[in-house]
Chains A and B, each alone.
Chain A
Amino acid sequence: MAFKLGLFKTSVARKNVMAITGLFTAFFLIIHLAGNLILILPDSMFPIEFWGNVANQHDMYNAYSHFLVHFWPISIVAYILYAGLALHVVDAIIITLTNHKAKGEKYVKTDNSTSTWYSRNMGILGTIIGIFIVIHMGQFWLKYKVLGTEHDLYDLVVRTFKLTWVVVLYEIGIIALGFHLVHGFTSAHRSLGMYPKSWMKILKYIGVCFGIGMAVLYGIIPLIIYFQ
């Protein structure tokens, strides 16, 4: 039988796109975190020796970011990531609009005890994350990679995280991300149909650990720099 293109417009296929792009972004978050944890390694670890070079924290962070920008395979993955995130947002908007159309008149009395608030508000959490991503990329990616007005990324990061409003904004964005992931991680696996019961059971806990873990680890970076 011919491959049916129409099936890609179904609600389940849409959720698959949501899940794949979401999980890909979530995977990126791990790598992104690993690099940025350099920022909060204790001073006692430096100078450090890697690949035959002796470096302090400042050099190591800048070498890492230089590598990200100039190593071409990473650029390709970065473009896939931008496209994936864009697709995630577009798909989120389409899904939200179709779901909105499916709703009947509003209930006068509602009882929300049957589900968690963050599972009901993935769109709002996502919008907060979206706004955060735009600001975040404007602060670092735009200045360092696109405009080239900043060359010392370590210095830029430390300067930026000395500003109170920036740290507050980051914490809000990161907490929203944590909740988005706690629901999104498990939901994505369900959307893709990974159903064996034993797996579903652990998955829920992996999702919670992943979401909270990401939020805590990302969350402490601006705080530590701010209070240093």
Chain B
Amino acid sequence: MKITLKIWRQESAKAKGKLETYQLNEVEQDMSFLEMLDMLNEDLAVKGERSVEFDHDCREGICGQCSLVINGQAHGPESHYTTCQTHMRSFKDGDTIFIEPFRAKAFPVIRDLKVNRDSFDTIIQAGGYISAFTGNAPEANNIPIHHDISESAFDSAACIGCGACVATCKNSSAALFVSAKISHLAKLPQGKVERKERVEWMITAHDEEGFGSCTHTGACAMVCPQEVQLLDITRMNFEFNRALCIS
């Protein structure tokens, strides 16, 4: 199929970027979206032009490295897919596809479609961990956990930290990301030690990193590749108010 691409090109964080148009004539339906971009980059390399830079790693939907806003939707047209799992069969011959980086003040563009998501690491470092004894790994079955609770905690833990929630949010809020970690650990006995401080530290870090506040439009949960629920944000707010009340 023939595809026209409008891709955001930007030299560096400081430079002004703009959309450039590219034409690909031999795209196949079975190609993944990133393979299509690889194809473009091979073309550019032959022509001696600088290739389009974009983030990716596992290409199987688990690492959270791929990003891209495709036709205005974080991770493209398929809901709850990562960009790397999106295939060209989601597009038609003759389509024009807009590709832009994830945008937020807290995600500065490094180059082209690559953005710096260190702010997520800062938030996790602020409280997204538990205290545990060092030494041998403890026997897994020592702490009984109800099946439903462990499943629910796992649903929150599934967040791959890609940042699509922030890219989609009209306020550039990372509430879904922060709440996934807070909910994951609040649900489990292992998370109880820092339960109160964690929510304070992580929300403070979230604000300091320059993310906006949540308006509950629900757009984040609609694009989340791991289907983290909006309910986690409500739970995070509960945890926050609980911490306020007992401090």
Are chains A and B native binding partners rather than an unrelated pairing?
yes
Q: Chain B binding site: helix, strand, loop or mixed by DSSP?
A: mixed
Interchain Cβ contacts within 8 Å, total number: 155
B155 → chain A closest CB, angstroms = 12
- A203 and B168 CA atoms in complex are apart in Å by 25
- The reply on B41 being an interface residue by CB < 8 A is no
- The reply on B216 being an interface residue by CB < 8 A is yes
Cβ contact within 8 Å between A105 and B103: yes
Interface residues on B, range: 35 or more
Cβ contact within 8 Å between B72 and A107: yes
Q: Which residues of B contact A105 (CB under 8 A)?
A: 17, 103
Cβ contact within 8 Å between A115 and B218: yes
- The reply on A190 being an interface residue by CB < 8 A is yes
Cβ contact within 8 Å between B104 and A104: yes
- The reply on A90 being an interface residue by CB < 8 A is no
Cβ contact within 8 Å between A115 and B105: no
Cβ contact within 8 Å between B234 and A114: no
- The reply on B214 being an interface residue by CB < 8 A is yes
Q: Which residues of A contact B243 (CB under 8 A)?
A: 7
B9 → chain A closest CB, angstroms = 12
Cβ contact within 8 Å between B215 and A187: yes
Cβ contact within 8 Å between A95 and B213: yes
Chain B proximity mask over A79-108: 1 for CB below 8 Å, otherwise 0: 000000000000000010011011111111
Q: Which of A104, A107, A113, A119 is B105 in contact with, Cβ under 8 Å?
A: A104
Cβ contact within 8 Å between B238 and A102: no
In the complex, chain B residues 196-217 whose Cβ is within 8 Å of any chain A Cβ = 200, 203-204, 206-207, 210-217
- A195 and B237 CA atoms in complex are apart in Å by 9
- The reply on A180 being an interface residue by CB < 8 A is no
- The reply on B233 being an interface residue by CB < 8 A is yes
Cβ contact within 8 Å between B204 and A109: no
Q: Which residues of A contact B240 (CB under 8 A)?
A: 7, 10, 12-13, 193
Q: Which residues of B contact A106 (CB under 8 A)?
A: 103
Closest to B170 in A: A120
Cβ contact within 8 Å between A98 and B247: no
Closest to B104 in A: A104
Q: Which residues of A contact B207 (CB under 8 A)?
A: 9-11
Chain A proximity mask over B9-40: 1 for CB below 8 Å, otherwise 0: 00000000101000000000000000000000
- A13 and B235 CA atoms in complex are apart in Å by 14
Q: Which of B103, B204, B234, B247 is A107 in contact with, Cβ under 8 Å?
A: B103
Q: Which of B19, B103, B203 is A103 in contact with, Cβ under 8 Å?
A: B103
Q: Which residues of B contact A (CB under 8 A)?
A: 6, 8, 17, 19, 69, 71-73, 98, 100, 103-109, 168, 170-173, 175, 200, 203-204, 206-207, 210-219, 222-223, 230-231, 233-244, 247
> 7 smallest A-B Cβ distances: which pairs?
A193-B238, A111-B72, A11-B213, A104-B103, A193-B237, A102-B212, A99-B212
With A109-B69, A113-B73 known, 6 other A-B pairs at CB within 8 A are A11-B213, A13-B240, A16-B241, A109-B6, A115-B222, A193-B234
